[in-house]
Amino acid sequence: MPKSYRLSKVTRELNISIGRAVDYLGEQGVEMDTNPNAKLDQAAYDLLLNEFDADRLQKEASGEVNINKLDKEKKEQQKKEAEKKKKEEEEKARKEAERLAEEEKAREKAQEEKERLEKIAAEKKAEEERAKKEVEEQAKKEEEQKLAAQQEAEKEKKESPSLLTERKKLAGLTKVGKIELPSDKKDTEKKTSTKGKKLTPANSEKEEKEILDSRKEQESKSDAPKKEEDDDRIKTKYKKLEGITKVGKIDLSKFEDKKKKDSSSDDKDKKKRKRIKKNVKYDNRKGGNSNRNKNTRPKKDVSELTEEEVQKQIKETLEKLTGKANKTSNKRGAKHRREKRKNRREQEELEILEQEQNKTIKVTEFVTVNDLGSLMDTNVMDIISACMSLGIMVTMNQRLDANTIELVADEFGYKVEFTDAELEEAQEDEIVDNEEDLLPRAPIVTVMGHVDHGKTSLLDYIRKENVIAGESGGITQHIGAYSVEVEKNKFITFLDTPGHEAFTAMRARGAQITDIAIIVIAADDQIMPQTEEAISHAQAAGVPMIFAINKVDKPTANPEKVKEQLAQKNLLVEDWGGKLQSQDISAKTGLNVDELLEKILLEAEMLELKANPDRLANGTVVEASLDKGRGYVSTIVVQNGTLRVGDYVLAGSNHGKVRAMLNERGQQIKEAKPATPVTILGLDGAPTAGDNFRVYADEKEAKQLAGKREQLQREQSIRTQKHITLDEIGRRIALGDFQELNVVLKGDVDGSVEALTDSLQRLSTEEIHVNILHKGVGQITESDVLLASASDAVIIGFNVRPNSSARSVADKEEVEIRTYSIIYDAINDVKEAMEGMLSPDLKEEVIGEVEIRDTFKISKVGTIAGCMVLTGKITRNSQVRIIREGVVIHDGELASLKRYKDDVKEVNKGYECGLNIKNFNDIQVGDTIEVYVVNEVKKKLK
């Protein structure tokens, strides 16, 4: 029987459509239906194979390309199976461990049961012995009673023999009947039998077992009739479902191997089969492979191809597919490009999946809903709906706080990392300088130490100027920046910091800006708290320290004591074998100041300080103030680049063009190199001391950043503003007399305002709270007075005065304005005002003791006591306590106090007097009256 082939199978094998195969066979004179199940004879199959052999080869080539992909999938499948097998083994081991634990528990339970039975047996034995003893004692007593009765009977018989017939003889206990208990006979027999025997644990166990068996037999007897009744009923047969039942496991690998073996066997058969060659004429007008007949090269047998030749043919086939020779090649090239695009899309999807595995977004606080949506690549409406589900109504441009951002991001599977806006911008705009562009720069040196230890005096001697004369109270209250030429073309930039305890933030800023820290310590004093704080700031900033031990010219100076105290704090100077430099100096006479400067230059050379002057400047704001004629003035230190007049500067949320630049002596300069302190004019506000500044080439960019920062600050101030809560109201009611001091604070420079704010807020206690309503730089204006009037506040001005309009409004509104030039005067006055607002403490003071000698009862007046003042005195308006036999029976006040017939204000020790106690008449002779007064004592702040 000739072999037949199904049409669908042949078209799949040759990688052609059914329509194409039918059309070609029709051209060759073979009529064929388009039904996929139609069968072909051998001749028709050979015709198709001869014509479309190239398509078959193309399919085989694409199959070989995908082998690696299939191998990879197979390996992954094997890996998953291995992991599954491992998990099953772990589960099996866990179950085995649980089974062993249960067996151990059952063993322990059996042991406990055994001990319990032994205990029960011992108790039974003790009860039996006790019962036996009681029976013996009872029998003995009965025997004695019986003997006594017999003796009495015999005695009576002798006395009166006639009454013997009338009396009954007592013969002990009479057995009336027998009560059968419901317990089993066997149990009673065993109990009676064991009375004489000695029970052992083995016997008790045996007996318990027998008792249980007998009970089971009784139960089975009682259940027998029930079972007979149940047999008459029709029972419902059901099967309890217990989840999925594992029937078996299907091994898919068997089917894959079988398919591969079948296909390989078919290929071998096809290769071995001899082709039937027929002289067939082909029409060049139809079919994509008409040019094939022009190729006269002899065909190679496929079975003889080596591996290298196969790879070569695949390569050639792919090259033909990508070519543009005719329409067929164009179609094949398009198909290949589609496959490449598909592979590229798959690769991109894999990359996206890898990115999604690490979903962490970096945002600043108070970011808008729209910005958050773009960061998370999520539609804004989805974020708004998520917020509504959380109970928060938001709009597209509304800013969210930190907690809301975290909640929304968590809803979409993101983690949030909050960053500072300025830090983020600095990281984005940071420019790395080339090594060849860096040039040496002057060191920035900060002078720190305790108040009145000689920091400013040292700088005065170096600069040959008297700065202290210009400071109020002889103490430094501002941070100053100076540039000094110590040698030819060698400069040092000095920063002078205040030493008062209120200026902690200023010292911290000085330590952050500096390269080297000089710690000034007075030789006639010791290491003070501010000295320790300055050392801590320098250590935290990681800057090298040089200790300048000042005032060595004084007769009471002891530098070695200072070095000893430093050694106790693990700070060893070079004289004591350490690494820290120190120098004994006198700022007043200039002793050894030159050597101190040499040590500073040596330390700077070791640090190798460099900067790039040929770039846009950046640095730090040291101080900011408001000048009446010049506007906002900012003292800055350029740390990198060169600052020029006309540059557009952004410092914090303030920005502006540099209109003028002055050095520390007030002289105008055109440019400032790195490590140069200058004062600039032109900013639109007073930046916060410690803010970083940067010069921007694009003015528009700087304004956008300033607007963004200002908006964030405004949002932060609104969100962080505390509103009174029910808990706070309850706390204030519980205290009874809670007070609040509202303050409007204005200062000459930002650093002083910040220091004064911190100091005043630290004065707050549980009973009185300092509330800073507003703080700012500049003179006291009319708006400050109106704010203080509306909120019942006090205005405090530090080194500033109110203008004429503000003073007139303050007089009209009766607002108090206090101005100070020394910081601790301001702090002390506010402290005293707070103490005055506190309710005073009540203190009781005993002023005298009076003894009642006699009493007189007068109608319409009450009981009058005749008394003698024993100690102290008694006054008319004093409080009294009546004490009888050491117990206070009344506490009240006097209604009248008389001596003879006259009313008196007081009676002293040793005199007699008469008195009447208000609303109290139970006075007896011998009572003692304790006289006391209640004084109000001013409460101090804790």
Q: Which residues are annotated as a binding site for GTP?
A: 449-456, 496-500, 550-553
How far is the C-alpha of 268 from the C-alpha of 114, rounded, in Å? 79
Closest among 853, 856, 872, 870 to 927, alpha carbons compared: 853
What is the distance between the terminal CA atoms of the chain, rounded to a whole angstrom? Answer: 117
Give me the amino acid identity at 190.
K
How far is the C-alpha of 621 from the C-alpha of 618, rounded, in Å? 10
3-state secondary structure of 696: strand
DSSP per-residue string spanning 823-872: HHHHHHHHHHHHHHHSPPEEEEEEEEEEEEEEEEEETTTEEEEEEEEEEE
Residues whose CB falls within 8 Å of the CB of residue 393, separated by 6 or more in sequence, listed in order: 387
DSSP per-residue string spanning 26-54: HHTT----S-TT-EE-HHHHHHHHHHSHH
The helix or strand, by DSSP H or E, that contains position 795, with its residue range, turns out to be strand 794-798
How far is the C-alpha of 496 from the C-alpha of 483, rounded, in Å? 11
Angle 512-517-523 (CA atoms, 0-180°, nearest 5)?
140
Backbone torsion region of residue 464, taken as left when φ is above 0, otherwise alpha when ψ lies between -120 and 50, otherwise beta: left
3-state secondary structure of 667: coil
Q: Could you tell me how far CA 347 lies from the centroid of its own chain?
A: 38
How far is the C-alpha of 104 from the C-alpha of 641, rounded, in Å? 80
Instruction: Identify whether the C-beta of residue 884 lies closer than 8 Å to the C-beta of residue 865.
Output: no
Binding residues: 449-456, 496-500, 550-553
Beta-sheet pairing, 618-627 with 631-640? antiparallel
Query: What's the sign of the alpha-carbon dihedral 160, 162, 164, 166?
Result: negative
Query: What's the sign of the alpha-carbon dihedral 286, 287, 292, 293?
Result: negative
Give me the amino acid identity at 416.
V
The label of the residue with tokens 């968590």 reads 410
Q: Could you tell me how far CA 924 lies from the centroid of its own chain?
A: 72
Instruction: Considering only CA atoms, give the Rg of the chain.
Output: 55
State the CB neighbour count (10 A cutoff) for residue 137.
Answer: 10
DSSP per-residue string spanning 210-237: HHHHHHHHHHHHHHHHHHHHHHTSPPPP
Instruction: Identify whether the C-beta of residue 898 lies closer than 8 Å to the C-beta of residue 916.
Output: no
3-state secondary structure of 358: coil
The one-character DSSP state at 443 is P
Beta bridge partners of 913: 867
How far is the C-alpha of 938 from the C-alpha of 941, rounded, in Å? 10
State the burial class of residue 344 (Cβ atoms within 10 Å of its Cβ: 0-12, 13-18, 19+).
Answer: exposed
Here the tokens at position 306 are: 């080596």
Beta-sheet pairing, 643-644 with 671-672? antiparallel
